């Protein structure tokens, strides 16, 4: 099953009245993401700066970057789903042009996750953006 778009996620989250329901939605999004092959859980793919273990793998497909992501924490898998809705199967230029901070503000995300989760989320985004930057330079 394909993840919803960033616009659909924003609309879905606005539908819920409280953050407990929004967290359940995030967990469901994480459950819907394709599973990453455990063989890809390597130190090279591990994102530094995350409280939980987070792995990111990328495979180019034409001018698009296809990511496989995983975490050992269910809420972080949900946060990864939000990030994948913004970045997966996009060109490096599209990834770098996307207003991820504006997206997170629309979701009211950072005021509802712990500071350590917020730091981890920024580390995930920075890793993906650095991959996109390296891809454009290549």
Residue percentage of the chain with pLDDT more than 90? 80
Distance CA(120)–CA(22), nearest Å, equals: 19
Asked if the structure places residue 1 within a domain, the reply is: no
Asked if the structure places residue 91 within a domain, the reply is: yes
Asked if the structure places residue 103 within a domain, the reply is: yes
Is 83 a residue whose pLDDT tops 60?
yes
Is 85 a residue whose pLDDT tops 90?
yes
Is 137 a residue whose pLDDT tops 80?
no
The DSSP element (H or E) to which 94 belongs, if any, is helix 92-97
What's the number of domains the chain is made of?
A: 1
Is 98 a residue whose pLDDT tops 90?
yes
Instruction: Quote the DSSP letter at residue 36.
Output: P
Of the residues 50, 95, 107, 121, only one is catalytic, namely: 50
pTM of the model: 0.93
Judge contact between 16 and 25, C-beta under 8 A.
yes
Tokens in use for 130? 């650095």
What CATH number did the domain enclosing 128 receive?
3.90.1010.10
Asked if the structure places residue 35 within a domain, the reply is: yes
Confidence of residue 1 (pLDDT cuts 50, 70, 90): low
Asked if the structure places residue 115 within a domain, the reply is: yes
Residue among 62, 72, 45 at smallest CA distance from 128: 45
Q: Which domain holds residue 48?
A: 6-137
Is 34 a residue whose pLDDT tops 60?
yes
pLDDT in tens, 109-120: 888 888 888 999
Is 50 tagged catalytic? yes
pLDDT of residue 105: 92
Asked if the structure places residue 126 within a domain, the reply is: yes
């Amino acid at each position: 099953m394909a993840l919803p778009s960033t616009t659909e996620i924003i609309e879905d989250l606005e539908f819920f009245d409280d953050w407990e329901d929004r967290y359940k939605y995030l967990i469901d999004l994480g459950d819907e993401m394709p599973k990453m092959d455990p063989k890809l859980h390597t130190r090279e793919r591990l994102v530094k700066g995350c409280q939980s273990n987070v792995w990111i793998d990328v495979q180019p497909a034409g001018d698009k970057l296809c990511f496989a992501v995983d975490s050992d924490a269910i809420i972080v898998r949900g946060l990864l789903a939000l990030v994948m809705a913004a970045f997966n199967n996009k060109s490096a230029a599209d990834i770098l042009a996307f207003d991820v901070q504006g997206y997170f503000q629309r979701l009211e995300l950072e005021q509802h996750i712990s500071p350590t989760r917020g730091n981890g989320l920024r580390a995930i985004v920075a890793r993906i953006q650095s991959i996109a930057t390296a891809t454009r330079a290549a």
